[in-house]
């Protein structure tokens, strides 16, 4: 069953952020935009994102004339609208009259008016003003036939250290610890350095001016910031719901550090995100698979098609080097999102502004104002492709593998004092594990440590240092019931309060599941390495971390061949219940994981839509629904690909020709339907 963003429009959306209020004195531009929309093969515009000062120029005085007019124009031009709440940036009058809406920095100083996202999510005034304008927007446009979704605020992020927020934090902790300060003291191990609390009123935010060493407090602070942001967003949505039940989304910004996307996703109907890769940079290859990782992450959050809410036509303006996308790359990056489950391709921005900080940011329509530009034509070509593949909209990929990326674990790991202190490389490590799947065209769900694992054949859990009791239980059940679990060094060291497990790592019963005991961890200097020898005879390199692990029932598949721990396990596997639990004790300094992944995937008969090895930087993905099977073949390399076998009979969805093989130009993608 296909699941659409909005059932009233079961098609791909192709469009993006539009700021017509910047052109209010040149309305001929509005008319030109409406004409260009169709010419670009676009069918959507996102409006209202930063329009607060235009629609509420004075407190309580609303003027919707500009929105009324532009919404009608877009509707008449046959376009759909994603309508934003304007809370990402406020009018000046609000900061002047109610300074509490402004954010307070970590040093305790209140910010001045300026930039955006500079507001306190706790402030009752800000919440009230946001709800008031949202309510009016919903009442006026919430049932308009052209409006297909709500875009809530813009890229929620950041923290505020004001007294209102601090009091809320105390409230949050009172609730968490049943108003019992001793429970908090125990969880925070606060007798360390005599930091015991005697009352919740003594709690201050962790900050470089004061408390930094209580790790439990640090991780709770992050949980709190995330919760306050989500709470603010829920209130925004609640106000809209009084008049409108259109699907609500918010444009997420990568996995933002302070935001728990899993909790946030519960409040939203649809997930959307803003993707700005550094194509053609020294990170080009990383970008190719990391984008796949992010897209998979956003699809997994609600297990339904997501929206690519923003991407740059041509280039951005805020990177160190703002390089143009090479021919083909705009279309390839757009279709990459679709291949991973996006049902929209949207851009920031439709038209370049004349002034201020984003005037040189890529746009569909450049300052020249015509359609005769390379970028406009690239957008048009993507639109053409989307029209041909429209029936894919609403389908999902088949997924058998889950990779755990857990934000609370990242907070705790980064904060931990030990190992390599500065850079634990959690994200880099997780995406290295991801890469082995990506290059084989195997779609992966990116889950957190509390996901239901029962539907997966294989679960990979790199560096899961913070492993709470629920996760220990869920891992145990998963393996008992026949799952294959692959975990690495640092598994199960601390609980949800960042307290070390006693009785040996990994936590509690995991020692039995994996059949091991992890006694010590060696952190290597960057220039160091250790040797690992696999039972298959091959040698590999270990970097950064080598654990000294004892096999207690597990079979050893690889061991160290250098250092004083030579002969101790580097990879183990344990049969437990009906399943298997693998444990890798070191950081892979080469292609160890890729080799092991190859044999585990073969054993489990998990493969991509094309089974043969694909050329470097070429991959293939699938989406399907019932008997409909769609194949995307993507070439991220600057080299053409000739006659790659599709291993089946397909129709090229753009040409209508039958195909059993594919040739691709550089930065090219082709889409097929199985016959």
Q: Which residues are catalytic?
A: 155, 310
The least CB distance from residue 155 to ligand GLA, in Å, is 5
Q: Is 276 in the site for ligand GLA (CB under 6 A)?
A: yes
Measured from the CB atom, the residue of 155 and 330 that comes closer to ligand GLA is 155
The least CB distance from residue 22 to ligand GLA, in Å, is 13
Count the neighbouring beta carbons within 10 Å of the beta carbon of residue 21.
18
Spatial contact of 33 and 362, defined as CB atoms under 8 Å apart: no
Spatial contact of 206 and 217, defined as CB atoms under 8 Å apart: yes
Contacted entry of Zn ion, ligand GLA, none for residue 120, CB cut-off 5 to 8 Å set by kind = Zn ion
Spatial contact of 290 and 431, defined as CB atoms under 8 Å apart: yes
d(CA 468, CA 475): 11
Q: Which of 413, 572, 407 is nearest to 485 (CA)?
A: 572
Contacted entry of Zn ion, ligand GLA, none for residue 568, CB cut-off 5 to 8 Å set by kind = none
Count the neighbouring beta carbons within 10 Å of the beta carbon of residue 626.
8
* Stretch in the footprint of Zn ion (CB under 5 A) among 23-31, 155-163, 278-286, 477-485: 155-163
Contacted entry of Zn ion, ligand GLA, none for residue 162, CB cut-off 5 to 8 Å set by kind = Zn ion
Can you say whether the dihedral through the CA atoms of 4, 8, 11, 16 is positive or negative? negative
The least CB distance from residue 162 to Zn ion, in Å, is 3
Nearest-Å Rg of the Cα atoms of the chain is 26
Measured from the CB atom, the residue of 232 and 592 that comes closer to Zn ion is 232
User: Cα 126 to chain center, whole Å?
Assistant: 27
Binding test (CB under 5 A) with Zn ion, winner from 47, 55, 133, 160: 160
The least CB distance from residue 88 to ligand GLA, in Å, is 8
Contacted entry of ligand GLA, Zn ion, none for residue 122, CB cut-off 5 to 8 Å set by kind = Zn ion
DSSP helix/strand/coil, 207: coil
Tokens of 650: 């397909």
Residue 133, CA atoms < 13 Å, CB-side half-sphere:
34
d(CA 648, CA 94): 62
The least CB distance from residue 361 to ligand GLA, in Å, is 5
Binding test (CB under 6 A) with ligand GLA, winner from 21, 258, 274, 468: 274
Binding test (CB under 6 A) with ligand GLA, winner from 21, 33, 56, 155: 155
Contacted entry of Zn ion, ligand GLA, none for residue 669, CB cut-off 5 to 8 Å set by kind = none
Binding test (CB under 6 A) with ligand GLA, winner from 70, 149, 248, 316: 316
The least CB distance from residue 348 to ligand GLA, in Å, is 4
Contacted entry of Zn ion, ligand GLA, none for residue 316, CB cut-off 5 to 8 Å set by kind = ligand GLA
Spatial contact of 572 and 524, defined as CB atoms under 8 Å apart: no
Phi and psi at 384, nearest 5°, equal: -65, -45
Tokens of 340: 């991973």
Tokens of 80: 């759909």
Measured from the CB atom, the residue of 310 and 634 that comes closer to ligand GLA is 310
Q: Is 165 in the site for Zn ion (CB under 5 A)?
A: yes
Q: How far is CA 277 from CA 310, 338, 451, 585, in A?
A: 11, 16, 28, 32
Count residues near Zn ion (CB under 5 A).
6
* Residues of span 192-231 touching ligand GLA by CB under 6 A: none
Strand order in the sheet with 44-47: 248-249, 147-151, 80-84, 44-47, 13-17, 342-347, 306-310, 272-274, 251-253
Q: Is 162 in the site for Zn ion (CB under 5 A)?
A: yes
Phi and psi at 143, nearest 5°, equal: -120, 15
Q: Is 348 in the site for ligand GLA (CB under 6 A)?
A: yes
The least CB distance from residue 84 to ligand GLA, in Å, is 10
Q: What is the 3-state secondary structure (H, E, C) of 130-156?
A: HHHHHHHHHHHHCCCCCEEEEECCCCC
Q: Is 310 in the site for ligand GLA (CB under 6 A)?
A: yes
Contacted entry of Zn ion, ligand GLA, none for residue 274, CB cut-off 5 to 8 Å set by kind = ligand GLA
Measured from the CB atom, the residue of 330 and 559 that comes closer to ligand GLA is 330
d(CA 613, CA 669): 18
The least CB distance from residue 161 to Zn ion, in Å, is 7
Measured from the CB atom, the residue of 159 and 331 that comes closer to Zn ion is 159
For tokens 């036939």, name the residue.
145
544 exposure class (CB count in 10 Å sphere: 0-12, 13-18, 19+): buried
503 exposure class (CB count in 10 Å sphere: 0-12, 13-18, 19+): exposed
Measured from the CB atom, the residue of 19 and 122 that comes closer to ligand GLA is 19
d(CA 327, CA 314): 9
For tokens 């909790």, name the residue.
263
User: Cα 354 to chain center, whole Å?
Assistant: 31
The least CB distance from residue 120 to Zn ion, in Å, is 3
Q: Is 154 in the site for ligand GLA (CB under 6 A)?
A: yes
Q: Is 352 in the site for ligand GLA (CB under 6 A)?
A: no
Tell me which residue has its CB nearest to ligand GLA.
274
Which residues have CB under 8 Å from 486's CB, separation 6+?
458, 459, 460, 461, 581, 582, 584, 600
Binding test (CB under 6 A) with ligand GLA, winner from 140, 361, 440, 587: 361
Q: Is 120 in the site for Zn ion (CB under 5 A)?
A: yes
Measured from the CB atom, the residue of 308 and 617 that comes closer to ligand GLA is 308
Measured from the CB atom, the residue of 164 and 548 that comes closer to Zn ion is 164
Binding test (CB under 5 A) with Zn ion, winner from 46, 51, 87, 122: 122
The least CB distance from residue 369 to ligand GLA, in Å, is 21
Q: Is 294 in the site for ligand GLA (CB under 6 A)?
A: no
Count residues near ligand GLA (CB under 6 A).
10
* Stretch in the footprint of Zn ion (CB under 5 A) among 112-120, 363-371, 427-435, 640-648: 112-120
Mutual orientation of helices 426-438 and 284-302 as an angle, nearest 10°? 90
Using CB under 6 A, list all residues that contact ligand GLA: 154-155, 251, 274, 276, 310, 316, 348, 358, 361
Using CB under 5 A, list all residues that contact Zn ion: 120, 122, 160, 162, 164-165
């Amino acid at each position: 069953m296909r699941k659409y963003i909005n059932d009233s429009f079961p098609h791909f959306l192709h469009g993006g952020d539009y700021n017509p209020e910047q052109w209010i004195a040149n309305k001929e531009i509005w008319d030109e935009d409406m004409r260009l929309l169709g010419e670009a093969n676009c069918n959507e515009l996102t409006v209202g994102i930063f329009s607060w000062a235009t629609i509420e120029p004075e407190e309580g005085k609303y003027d919707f004339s500009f929105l009324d007019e532009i919404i009608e124009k877009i509707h008449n031009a046959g376009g759909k609208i994603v309508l934003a709440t304007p809370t990402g940036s406020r009018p000046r009058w609000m900061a002047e009259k109610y300074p509490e809406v402004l954010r307070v920095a970590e040093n305790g100083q209140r910010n001045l008016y300026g930039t955006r996202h500079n507001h306190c999510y706790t402030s009752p005034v800000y919440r009230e003003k946001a709800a008031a304008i949202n309510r009016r927007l919903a009442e006026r446009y919430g049932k308009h036939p052209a409006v297909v979704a709500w875009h809530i605020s813009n890229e929620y992020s950041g923290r505020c250290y004001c007294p209102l927020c601090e009091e809320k934090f105390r409230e949050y902790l009172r609730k968490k610890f049943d108003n019992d300060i001793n429970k908090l003291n125990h969880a925070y191990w606060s007798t360390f350095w005599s930091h015991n609390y005697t009352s919740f009123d003594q709690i201050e935010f962790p900050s470089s001016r004061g408390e930094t060493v209580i790790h439990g407090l640090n991780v709770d602070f992050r949980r709190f910031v995330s919760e306050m942001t989500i709470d603010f967003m829920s209130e925004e949505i609640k106000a809209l719901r009084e008049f409108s039940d259109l699907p609500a989304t918010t444009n997420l910004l990568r996995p933002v550090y302070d935001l728990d996307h899993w909790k946030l996703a519960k409040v939203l109907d649809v997930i959307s995100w803003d993707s700005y890769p550094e194509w053609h940079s020294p990170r080009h290859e990383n970008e190719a698979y990391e984008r796949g990782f992010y897209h998979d992450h956003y699809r997994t959050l609600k297990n339904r098609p997501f929206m690519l809410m923003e991407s740059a036509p041509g280039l951005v303006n805020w990177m160190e080097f703002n390089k143009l996308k090479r021919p083909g790359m705009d279309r390839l990056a757009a279709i990459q999102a679709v291949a991973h489950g996006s049902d929209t391709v949207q851009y920031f921005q439709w038209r370049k502004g004349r002034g201020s900080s984003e005037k040189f940011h890529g746009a569909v329509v450049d300052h020249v104002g015509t359609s005769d530009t390379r970028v406009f034509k690239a957008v048009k070509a993507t639109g053409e492709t989307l029209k041909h593949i429209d029936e894919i909209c609403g389908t999902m990929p088949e997924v058998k593998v889950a990779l755990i990326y857990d934000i609370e674990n990242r907070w705790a790991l980064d904060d931990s004092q030990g190992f390599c202190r500065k850079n634990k490389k959690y994200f880099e490590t997780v995406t290295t594990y991801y890469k082995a799947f990506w290059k084989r065209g195997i779609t992966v769900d990116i889950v957190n440590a509390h996901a239901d694992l029962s539907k997966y054949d294989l679960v990979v859990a790199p560096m899961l240092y913070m492993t709470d009791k629920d996760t220990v239980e869920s891992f145990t059940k998963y393996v008992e019931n026949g799952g294959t679990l692959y975990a690495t060094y640092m598994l199960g060291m601390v609980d949800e309060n960042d307290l070390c497990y006693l009785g040996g790592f990994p936590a509690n019963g995991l020692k039995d599941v994996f059949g091991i005991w992890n006694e010590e961890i060696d952190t290597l200097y960057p220039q160091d390495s250790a040797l690992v020898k696999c039972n298959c005879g091959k040698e590999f390199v270990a970097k950064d971390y080598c654990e000294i692990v004892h096999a207690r029932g597990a079979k050893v598949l690889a061991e160290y061949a250098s250092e004083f721990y030579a002969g101790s396990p580097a990879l183990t596997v344990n049969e437990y219940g009906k399943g298997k639990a693998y444990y890798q004790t070191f950081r892979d300094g080469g292609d160890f994981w890729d080799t092991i992944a190859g044999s585990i995937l073969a054993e489990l008969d998990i493969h991509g839509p094309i089974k043969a090895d694909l050329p470097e930087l070429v991959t293939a993905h699938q989406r399907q629904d019932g008997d409909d099977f769609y194949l995307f073949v993507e070439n991220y390399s600057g080299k053409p690909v000739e006659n790659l076998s599709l291993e089946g009979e397909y129709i090229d969805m753009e040409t209508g020709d039958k195909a059993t093989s594919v040739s691709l130009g550089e930065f090219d993608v082709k889409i097929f339907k199985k016959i």
